[in-house]
Amino acid sequence: MEQREFGRLGRNASVIGLGCWQLGADWGHVDEAAAMQILHAAADAGVTFFDTADVYGDGRSERFLGQFLRERAGESLFVATKTGRRAMPPDDSAYTEANLRSWLGRSLDNLGVDRLDLVQWHCPPQATVDRQDMYDMFDNFTDEGLIAGYGVSIETTQQALDAITRPQIKSVQIIANAFRLKPFEQVIPAAAAAGVGIIVRIPLASGLLAAKFTPTSTFGSDDHRHYNRNGEVFDMGETFSGVPFEVGINAAAELATLAPEGVTPAQAAIRWLVDQPGVTTVIPGATSVAQAQANAAVAGLAPTTAAYDSAVHRIYDADIRHHVHSNW
């Protein structure tokens, strides 16, 4: 699989990664056996980049990855985790050195490693992104060998732009997809110019772009697509990219008609992201081996057609922009 460089980190990642939120919680239950099968299927298909967080299932996702790393010892695998949301609400006052050391230590234990490959500040408040002492603390963690590098996983484009100006930041994780085009205006070009890796999360707008949902589709009570549709628990943009459900269903159905023959709507949507300049890795999640394999196969597909790209922009401008563009 194609590898792309995190310039400031000096390390490569597969262009398709695996988002491991689903293996922890909030997308319905995935048992341990299924989780391990998904991880191995992704790696067997060429995936080398795995993204998790210390709060996904209260560490469950990290622990699965730790077992996976032990089972594939000696392979060049890249695991990015996140920190900062173990305190609820995760306000700026929670980002203390004592808390951060404790949380990083927990991630080291969960993953079974001596050093974390990449630690991302997990949707921090703007005040935290602005604090010089945060950068000083994480520089110290790097010097001590706790982490190899650090970046941010953020909600807004302004937070991303602010972080990119800091030379210590190695990566920015951001929501970008056919229903969230704003990052392509400034953030992703700025990151590319600075050598900052771009990790694209929620590439299918929580499954909308797979074009399988109907207005009567329902989700389990433990699925954020049920309990966070209007931002009841965390930022609304993390669920369906902030797009109203029925609006997204209709827009996705229209875009799906442009998927090339033999390519699923989900694969076409992920391939479009892969083809955008400045994107380092795209991290769709999977709740089955078949999904993991189909996602990984995107790396080998033909580039996006001009007709599909044109449709993305046309549909966004007509149906999606006014719902999301000014919010994040």
Q: What is the pLDDT of residue 222?
A: 81
DSSP 103: H
Q: What is the pLDDT of residue 226?
A: 83
Longest dimension (CA), the chain: 54
User: How many Å is the Cα radius of gyration of the chain?
Assistant: 18
Where helices occur in the chain by DSSP H, the ranges are: 32-44, 60-71, 97-111, 126-130, 132-143, 157-164, 187-194, 224-227, 245-256, 265-274, 289-297, 306-315, 321-324
DSSP assignment of 136-183 = HHHHHHHHTTSBS-EEEE-SSHHHHHHHHTSTTEEEEEEE-BTTB-GG
Which residues contact residue 323 at a Cβ distance below 8 angstroms, ignoring those fewer than 6 apart? 242, 243, 244, 247
Distance CA 296, CA 45 (A): 6
Q: Which domain holds residue 46?
A: 3-324
Q: Hey, CA dihedral for 48, 45, 54, 120, is it positive or negative?
A: positive
Q: What is the pLDDT of residue 27?
A: 63
Q: What is the pLDDT along the chain (328 residues), one digit of tens a residue?
A: 999 999 899 999 999 999 999 898 766 678 999 999 999 999 999 999 999 999 999 999 999 999 999 999 999 999 999 999 998 777 899 999 999 999 999 999 999 999 999 999 999 999 999 999 999 999 999 999 999 999 999 999 999 999 999 999 999 999 999 999 999 999 999 999 999 999 999 999 999 999 999 999 988 888 889 888 888 888 888 899 899 999 999 999 999 999 999 999 999 999 999 999 999 999 999 999 999 999 999 999 999 999 999 999 999 999 999 999 988 9
What is the pTM assigned to this prediction?
A: 0.95
Q: What is the pLDDT of residue 127?
A: 95
Provide the CATH number for the domain around residue 35: 3.20.20.100
Run of H or E residues at 121: strand 118-122
Q: What is the pLDDT of residue 224?
A: 86
Distance CA 80, CA 121 (A): 11
Instruction: Count how many domains the chain has.
Output: 1
Q: What is the pLDDT of residue 234?
A: 85
Q: What is the pLDDT of residue 90?
A: 76
